[in-house]
Amino acid sequence: MLIKTGGGLIVNITSSGASRYAQCVAYGVAKAATQKLAADMAEELRPHGVASVALWPGFTRTEDVLSNPDVYDNLTGTVSPRYNGLAVVALAADPRIMDKTGRHLKIGELAQEYGFVDPETPPVR
């Protein structure tokens, strides 16, 4: 559909687990594979104006994180799902998105580049 419409953006979610140990072997392999998927799709889709990136969000305050205070007792340094969404919006609106195709991008760095901030501060416990 993106090829037919003349371009677009595919966003894959990965993490630093792609390049260092985090949680378990399967997690790291899945994150590394996701980055490879984004890079290879970028090569094949570039001629059609379709960008493919892999995003590294920060530690996100998902429903699971917020509903397990015994496990996740410190929300310092966490980000809201809306913050991650703002990164996707900024990328989708970027007229030079093809310059980023095939790369893995850290959302914190995109926030600095595009000038957005987390609209939700972490809850205090």
Q: What is the pLDDT of residues 32-47, one digit of tens each?
A: 999 999 999 999 999 9
Instruction: Round to whole Å and give the CA distance between 39 and 76.
Output: 32
Tens digit of each residue's pLDDT (9 = 90 or more) over 100-116 = 999 999 999 999 999 99
Domain count, the chain: 1
For residues 73 and 54, the model is more confident at 54
* Neighbour tally for 15: CB within 10 Å: 23
Per the structure, the complete domain to which residue 80 belongs is given by: 2-114
Whether 123 is covered by a domain: the verdict is: no
Determine, yes or no, domain membership for 124.
no
Higher pLDDT, 76 or 5: 5
Is residue 83 annotated as part of the catalytic site, yes or no? no
Report the alpha-carbon distance of residue 67 to residue 87 in Å, rounded.
Answer: 25
User: What gap in Å lies between CA 104 and CA 57, rounded to an integer?
Assistant: 11
95 has pLDDT over 70: yes
Question: Is 121 within a domain?
Answer: no
Out of 27, 72, 83, 114, the active site residue is: 27
* CATH number of the domain within which 41 lies: 3.40.50.720
Cα–Cα distance between 87 and 12 in angstroms, integer?
12
In angstroms, the CA 76 to CA 20 distance is 22
Write down the H helix ranges in 68-106.
81-93
Q: How much is the pTM?
A: 0.87
